[in-house]
Amino acid sequence: MLQHNAVLSPSFSLGITHRSCFTRAHARPRPLPPRLPVAQPGAGHPERPERIEAVLAALRAPDLASVVEWREARPAAREQIERVHPARYLDGLERLARAGGGALDADTVMSGASWEAALAAAGVAIDAVELGLARGTAFGATRPPGHHALAARAMGFCLVNNVVVAARHAQRLGKSRVLIVDWDVHHGNGTQALVERDPSVCYVSMHQYPWYPGTGAEDERGVGNVFNVPRPPGLPRATYVRDLLAAVDAALAGWGRGTRPDLLLVSAGFDSLAGDPLGGFTLAPEDMADWTTALRERVAPAPVVGVLEGGYRLDLLAAGVRAHVRALAS
């Protein structure tokens, strides 16, 4: 993973509506707010502002207009993030951003806009949960990503763990059992570390191994709530698809016969698509669509909410997000 300068880009949560339930008055995409401060990470950096621009452009396509309701989320409140990250760590991030930014470690560098970007991304994840609970499905177009962020350490382009912030928010709303499924090509070491001692949250991760960040072995089981699926690059697509769903089935079985999660969160990383420069998996966008459909079927009637993680080739990222959102809307 290379260095990261987070940016304050517009972040959106999408309410995915169903034709059978909402046949009129779908909200149109809002124009982007003008003159937002954007920190450029430098030429050639994979985690760049064009990522979120590609996602938003893909989701504004006319053929999605009838199934996507756009909402611009508010930044997360400090108390919402402190359910996951200690105040001292967050103080340090805010202080460094106010000073103009700087390096947090060899992989992760903040700009002056990074703190605002982190609050915005976490707010999107929170708003997506609320939309998902109300509508059944939602997707949060977040940047920067979050699944590498530990409780008190930023790494791998990630400052705040958006998906765990979302899970804790859902639990505050009474949704006590949360399943997180992570199909980013990199293991979500931060997510695992934050939930592995909490049986109310199950974490399933399919990831390339060995690969960055070096965690995610199959025998890392937490308190029986962690289900890692480490796989080498270059396998047939069908193998990855089958093995992730088998791990989800094992996680669901671990909760007991007839018990289902109250919410399923997808850490939706699209760097697992064939051709992404930061991974070696062979998946296609339709595999993400098939996963999404299968996940919805397995946890119904629980809501399913996607939260954007990685994906570094713009055309693949756009195609993957479209496929995921379409499957959420079907």
| pLDDT at residue number 69 | 87
Q: Does residue 149 lie within any of the structural domains?
A: yes
Residue for token digits 């804790």? 168
The yes-or-no answer on residue 148 being catalytic is yes
Q: Does residue 7 lie within any of the structural domains?
A: no
| pLDDT at residue number 26 | 23
Q: Does residue 5 lie within any of the structural domains?
A: no
Cβ neighbourhood burial of 216 (10 Å; 0-12, 13-18, 19+): buried
Q: Is residue 10 scored above 70 in pLDDT?
A: no
Structure tokens belonging to residue 197: 């001692």
| pLDDT at residue number 14 | 62
Number of domains in the chain: 1
CATH number at residue 24: 3.40.800.20
- Run of H or E including 101: strand 101-103
Q: Is residue 7 scored above 90 in pLDDT?
A: no
Q: Does residue 45 lie within any of the structural domains?
A: yes
| Structural domain that includes position 46 | 12-329
For residue 169, CA distances in Å to 79, 117, 128 come to 11, 19, 11
Catalytic residue among 85, 148, 186, 324: 148
Q: Does residue 138 lie within any of the structural domains?
A: yes
| pLDDT at residue number 29 | 29
- Run of H or E including 93: helix 87-98
Which residue has better confidence, 299 or 6? 299
| pLDDT at residue number 106 | 81
Structure tokens belonging to residue 221: 């089981």
Q: Does residue 51 lie within any of the structural domains?
A: yes
Region of 222 (left: φ > 0; alpha: ψ -120 to 50; beta: rest) is left
Q: Does residue 4 lie within any of the structural domains?
A: no
Q: Does residue 147 lie within any of the structural domains?
A: yes
Structure tokens belonging to residue 117: 């970007």
**Residue 177 one-letter amino acid:** R
| pLDDT at residue number 13 | 57
Q: What is the mean pLDDT of residues 24-53?
A: 51
